[in-house]
Structure 1
């Protein structure tokens, strides 16, 4: 019964927390610009002499980043038809993505196949069928924290790549604020939806150990967390809920742990400038070759 009480990355409370974070941090705007710099060249290589392209999004959330990726692909290779499969465990996120498609003209031209399940269940389903659809491009944006086994997940999705395909993993950068926070307070934080926190360091260590070819691109990003240090601030509490993956930061930890987390956020995870506390939220984009 205790297991059933855990929060998961599919809970409505987690969806709301993530949406609040996106509105406050501006992370997706930064990701869009970085992807615009990286992906058109990749898409030209992937799409060379292809009559069609198949894309898979895993843990795509509300679809904001996937929509940008698909739009970039269409603009880079306008004459090449695209199909898209989406694996998403949260029905609320999937509904948000479908609503985004419904109001975006260029996305309406793409046939979508929706798989409302976790990455692990998708893998089981595909293996049970024995008929693997192959993809030219697979994206996993900020979801590698939630899978059971990093190595098995990368191996499976690489097996779905066509020749010359790419698997793109966007993940928190090593030594970023979240990486420091979660590894310092692993015992207290890694107990619910995320049981083993991973940054780009773990992903790249695995790729090197397997001798896999990859490229890494840095996505520098910071945002203001000053309000996290005002106990009366609702914005601060919502941000702390997101940063610690808890529904109620102040009720979830002892006073000593709360004080330690707040001190770490200020001293090791951020820089102070003009009276503001600016969180290091750097990300990495890792492109893995087929």
Structure 2
């Protein structure tokens, strides 16, 4: 994610993202549930196939990809897998390649890298007469950064082979992210890739229904501790707030009034209190769209 206006992920934002992942264990929660969700899907997708094609869109550093590909390979060990990756950030792509170099079981899988925003990949593919089709496509926490998620989802769905699946993971409609971004959309969207509040699972499902597409939704409950966000001298709090608002430095990015309003909202409307600690609702939706 990164070049052009694809996403905000570059430099300090990537560092804040890494800090967020360390602090929240979001990847571990996703993987724990994804294994159960994807195992029967991968068994069905791989049945009777002589080869499998996978497309990752906005794959970041590849941590989730490596786990999903290892699972797919374990289900269909004799079937060759080929992977295409669309990722706008050179920094993330380099990290992905380094991760692959240390993952022995994936060494024989050929990877094709498209280091560009997904919109540019879409234009490139549409310009070719022969579109490559895929058995499994995934878009994990990246649809927020699309200029037109309707068109992009429609396009990627058109790339599925028969019996293929498109996996979309994003914030659940019930999560605190939705409350935060809707309440402060003007302030939080200024200078980012979109002028609208971040989309959530409800937006995607409404679109899938409008297109008559079949899908399965799995809502995964999750939360993380934001108590440090209310301590103005806490580095942890500053870095979490910076990631949550997509800014390099939260405390320098907003007026004192906006900062105070955001913190009040996080405390009063976005948190549950347990043992004196504040927990932010980070629930997300795994949506599997059928071909």
TM-score bracket for this pair, using the shorter chain length: over 0.9
Offset of residue 230 of structure 1:
0.4
Q: State the partner residue of 1:135.
A: 134
> CA shift at 1:117, angstroms?
0.2
| RMSD over aligned Cα atoms | 1.5
Does the 8 Å contact 2:6/2:145 carry over to 1?
A: no
- Residues 200-255 of structure 1: CA distance to partner in whole angstroms, max 9, x if unpaired? 01000111111111000111111111100000001100000011111111111111
User: Which residue of 1 is the match for residue 251 of structure 2?
Assistant: 250
Three-state SS of the structure 1 residue aligned to 2:233 is coil
Distance 1:258 1:117 in 2: 34
* SS of aligned partner of 1:109: coil
The equivalent residue for 1:229 is: 230
> SS in structure 1 opposite 2:157?
helix
Point out where structure 2 has 5 or more consecutive residues left out of the alignment.
none
Relative to the length of structure 2, the TM-score reads 0.96
Q: Give the aligned partner of residue 79 of structure 2.
A: 80
- After TM superposition, what 4+ stretches of structure 1 lie above 3 angstroms from structure 2? 4-8
Alignment size in residue pairs: 287
* Mapped partners of 2:41, 2:261: distance in 1: 43
Q: For 1:171, what is the secondary structure of its paired residue? A: strand
**Structure 1 residue aligned with 2:122:** 123
Task: State the alpha-carbon separation in 2 of the partners of residues 31 and 79 from structure 1.
Answer: 27
The structural deviation recorded for 1:106 is 1.0
Deviations 1:42-69 (A, max 9, x none): 0111112111100000000000011111
Aligned equivalents of 1:139, 1:88: Cα separation in 2: 12
Match runs of 1:1-290 below 5 Å: 8-191=7-190, 192-196=192-196, 197-290=198-291
Which of 6-15 and 262-271 deviates more? 6-15
Q: Name the CA shift for 1:59/1:8 in 2 (closer, same or farther; >3 Å).
A: closer
1:8 and 1:59 mapped to 2: Cα distance? 9
> Partners in 2 of 1:6 and 1:148 — Cα distance?
9
- By how many angstroms is 1:8 displaced? 4.2
8 A contact 1:8–1:14 mirrored in 2: no
**Does the C-alpha gap of structure 1 residues 242 and 173 become closer, same or farther in structure 2, counting only changes over 3 Å?**
same
**Kept in 1: contact 2:139–2:168 (CA 8 A):** yes
Q: CA offset at residue 5 of structure 1?
A: 11
Determine helix, strand or coil for the equivalent of 2:106. helix
Q: What is the rounded CA distance, in whole Å, between the counterparts of 1:143 and 1:253 in structure 2? A: 25
Residues 131-151 of structure 1: CA distance to partner in whole angstroms, max 9, x if unpaired? 211000000000000111011
Q: Distance in 1 between matches of 2:47 and 2:4?
A: 49
Distance of 2:23 and 2:8 partners within structure 1: 19
Whole-angstrom distance in 2 between the partners of 1:212 and 1:5: 31
SS at match of 1:140: strand
Partners in 2 of 1:278 and 1:253 — Cα distance?
23
Q: Which runs of 5+ in 1 are unaligned?
A: none
